């Protein structure tokens, strides 16, 4: 029996016995729908300016997605097969979806046309008659990790549970950053298949490409534990040009031909295997949860009422104890968050002192304030790169600390929920089987605003050529120092504020998730026990019949689970 049949039988079983939680059936239907449709979600992930949209355009052979020097993908774009190109806009404010011609896409995903996502777009479904999509693959163009204009709080990391495989787009400038390593570490537990693309190789010679690939491969192994057989070195820009010009030679030279060939082969032969693997992991917990709740109700129905009353009261004590432990854990989390904020404040002060000498050196290099407009523009570009590097470094540092904090509390939350399930099993003397993967997904929230370089323009002064040279020199030094101070304070504050929002929003989301998980576990167990109690009180004549139904259900569940396990080994 295949996974689809097993899930279909499970859904029937869950509906057949209405005391089981409705959310189990809902989740099983979601998994079954994914399998039945044959859709395989292939997310295109990477940092801003790595060339994700250009790569997708080259694969589709059409300049569909906007690309440029500014972040343009504010919301995820799901590219699905369709006979006619069109877009369907889904909104986050409850507004009904709307369909438009393909040329209206930029109105909803471009920062310039939809600043800070004021149109409340949740996602865009884009239909296109491309063979790659015809095979059931759904490409997802995601907001760039670490982009400077990421206003949508549902960022790329929220897609991890929905991704079956990922195309990770890196580029040769440099091959991989600390922020990308951190992102891949978060991505690894949730994705069964990776395709790594080293883009923009047209800026390198053959020896540099080989060295970049070796460096990338080694970094992936040592820093993320991801061992991959092949890195696809290519130029998406050249590939798109080749498709425009129908130039097969350039298409092959760009590296796109080889990459498209692998994706096509995967779409035809490999996607179903990977999809089944991804859905199998989600399915097995459904069986374990359902059987645990059925067992609790079954044994509760066979226990003397007085004894069962004591057991229910004892479980309520366990639940209150678990809730208190949960509150203690939240207090500890609040303390960890407070200490991290304090650390951030100290970091911001130290960063100002670290940046100022570098900015002073730049003002001297470019001859400020007496330089021409071209040199001034070069100065601002260099200063922007400086703050961008500091932002990336700060993000890697503090997100790493935040991840360690949340990972610790994730394990505690998992242990607390499993302990509650174990307590219920012990009270009724039934076996306890731990869930396979009960970890809470850690979403590092991006704030509505991300760091943008703040320009402090030089203020024009009256000509001072008649003043003594020493006085002019002193004036220039004062202008430089004022410029350095203003640039430092304003941009370091931007970095500090960005990281503070990241910390606060991430912890808020995490608290909500682990609280919901514990409440759901408590409610489901209590309902199973109370159902057994109510059946004993008011359904005495039908008790044996109900027990027989439960025995048959659990037997069917065990057979389905066994068949599922055997199918996974094939």
Those residues of the chain that have pLDDT short of 70 are: 1-2, 36-39, 67-74, 93-94, 144-164, 173, 189-190, 229, 267-276, 278, 436-467, 564, 566-570
Alpha helices in 456-542 (DSSP H): 469-538
Taking each helix axis from N to C end, the angle separating 178-187 and 373-427, rounded to the nearest 10 degrees, works out to: 20
Hey, which residues does 40 pair with through a beta bridge? 137
With vertex at residue 416, the alpha carbon angle to CA 517 and CA 501, rounded to the nearest 5 degrees, is 55
| Residue position matching structure tokens 């439960």 | 550
| Cβ-defined contacts of 469-473 (< 8 Å, 24+) | none
Task: State CA 521 to chain mean position distance.
Answer: 25
User: What is the reported pLDDT for 126?
Assistant: 92
Q: Which residue has the tokens 């027989």?
A: 548
**CA distance linking residue 124 with residue 99, whole number of Å:** 10
Please write the tens of the pLDDT for every residue from 134-187.
Answer: 777 888 888 766 543 343 334 455 555 556 678 999 887 677 877 788 778 777
pLDDT of residue 157: 56
Q: Is 86 helix (H, G, I), strand (E, B) or coil?
A: strand
Task: Say whether pTM exceeds 0.75.
Answer: no
DSSP string, 394-428: HHHHHHHHHHHHHHHHHHHHHHHHHHHHHHHHHHT
Taking the alpha carbons at both ends of the chain, their separation in whole angstroms is: 11
d(Cα 383, Cα 480) in Å, to the nearest integer?
A: 13
pLDDT for the residue 564: 67
> Which pLDDT score is estimated for 232?
92
Q: Which residue bears the tokens 């057994």?
A: 532
Cα gap 547→538, rounded to integer Å: 14
Whole-Å CA distances, 194 to 5, 159, 176, 553:
28, 15, 15, 39
| H-helix or E-strand spanning residue 150 | none
How many C-alpha atoms does 536 have within 13 Å on its Cβ side? 19
| Structure token digits, residue 216 | 């990338």
CA pair distance 382, 379, nearest whole angstrom: 5
Q: Which long-range contacts (CB under 8 A, 24 or more apart) does 238-245 make?
A: 238/202, 239/55, 239/58, 240/54, 240/57, 240/58, 240/63, 242/58, 243/58, 243/61, 243/62, 244/63
Closest listed residue to residue 169, CA positions, set 87, 234, 91, 217: 234
Helices (H) and strands (E) in the chain, counts: 15, 9
Q: What is the pLDDT of residue 434?
A: 83
**Quick one: pLDDT at residue 2?**
63
Rounded CA separation 321/331 (Å): 15
Q: What is the pLDDT of residue 271?
A: 59
Is the four-CA dihedral 269, 270, 273, 276 of positive or negative sign?
negative
What would the DSSP string read from start to end of 204-219?
S-HHHHHHHHHHHHHH
**Cα gap 503→490, rounded to integer Å:** 20
| DSSP element (H, E) containing 5 | helix 3-16
- Predicted pLDDT at 299: 93
């Amino acid at each position: 029996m295949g996974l689809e049949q097993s899930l279909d039988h499970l859904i029937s079983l869950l509906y057949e016995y209405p005391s089981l939680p409705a959310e189990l059936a809902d989740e099983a239907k979601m998994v079954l729908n994914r399998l039945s449709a044959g859709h395989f979600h292939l997310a295109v992930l990477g940092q801003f300016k790595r060339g994700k949209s250009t790569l997708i355009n080259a694969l589709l052979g059409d300049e569909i997605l906007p690309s440029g020097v500014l972040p343009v993908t504010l919301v995820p774009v799901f590219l699905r097969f369709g006979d006619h190109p069109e877009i369907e806009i889904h909104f986050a404010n409850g507004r009904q979806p709307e369909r438009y011609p393909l040329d209206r896409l930029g109105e909803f995903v471009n920062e310039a046309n939809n600043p800070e996502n004021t149109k409340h777009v949740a996602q865009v479904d884009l239909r296109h008659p491309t063979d790659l999509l015809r095979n059931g693959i759904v490409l997802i163009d995601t907001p760039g990790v670490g982009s400077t204009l990421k206003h949508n709080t549902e960022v790329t990391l929220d897609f991890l549970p929905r991704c079956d495989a990922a195309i990770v787009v890196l580029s040769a400038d440099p091959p991989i950053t600390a922020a990308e390593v951190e992102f891949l570490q978060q991505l690894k537990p949730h994705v069964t298949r990776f395709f790594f693309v080293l883009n923009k190789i047209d800026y390198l010679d053959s020896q540099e490409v080989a060295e970049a690939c070796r460096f990338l491969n080694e970094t992936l192994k040592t820093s993320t534990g991801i061992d991959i057989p092949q890195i696809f070195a290519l130029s998406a820009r050249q590939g798109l040009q080749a498709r425009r010009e129908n130039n097969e030679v350039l298409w092959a030279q760009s590296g796109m031909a080889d990459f498209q060939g692998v994706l096509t082969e995967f779409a035809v032969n490999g996607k179903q295997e990977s999809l089944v693997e991804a859905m199998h992991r989600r399915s097995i917990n459904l069986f374990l949860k359902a059987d645990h709740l059925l067992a609790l109700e079954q044994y509760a129905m066979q226990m003397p009422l007085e004894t069962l009353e004591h057991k229910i009261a004892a479980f309520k004590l366990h639940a209150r104890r678990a809730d208190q432990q949960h509150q203690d854990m939240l207090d500890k989390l609040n303390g960890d968050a407070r200490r991290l904020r304090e650390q951030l404040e100290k970091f911001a002060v130290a960063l100002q002192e670290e940046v100022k000498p570098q900015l002073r050196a730049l003002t001297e290099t470019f001859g400020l304030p007496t330089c021409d407009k071209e040199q001034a523009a070069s100065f601002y570009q260099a200063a922007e790169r400086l703050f961008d590097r500091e932002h990336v470094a700060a993000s890697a540092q503090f997100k790493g600390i935040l991840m360690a904090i949340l990972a610790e509390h994730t394990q505690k939350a998992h242990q607390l929920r499993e302990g509650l399930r174990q307590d219920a099993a012990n009270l009724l003397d039934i076996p306890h089987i731990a869930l396979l993967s009960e970890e809470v997904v850690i979403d590092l929230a991006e704030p509505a605003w991300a760091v943008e370089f703040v320009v402090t323009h030089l203020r024009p002064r009256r000509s001072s050529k008649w003043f003594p040279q020493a006085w002019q020199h002193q004036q220039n030094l004062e202008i430089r120092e004022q410029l350095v101070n203003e640039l430092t304070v304003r941009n370091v504050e931007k970095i500090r504020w960005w990281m503070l929002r990241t910390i606060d929003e991430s912890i808020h989301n995490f608290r909500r998730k682990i609280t919901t998980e514990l409440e759901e576990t408590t409610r489901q167990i209590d309902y199973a026990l109370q159902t057994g109690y109510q059946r004993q009180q008011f359904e005495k004549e039908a008790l044996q019949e109900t027990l027989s139904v439960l025995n048959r259900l659990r037997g069917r569940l065990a057979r389905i689970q066994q068949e599922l396990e055997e199918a996974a080994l094939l």
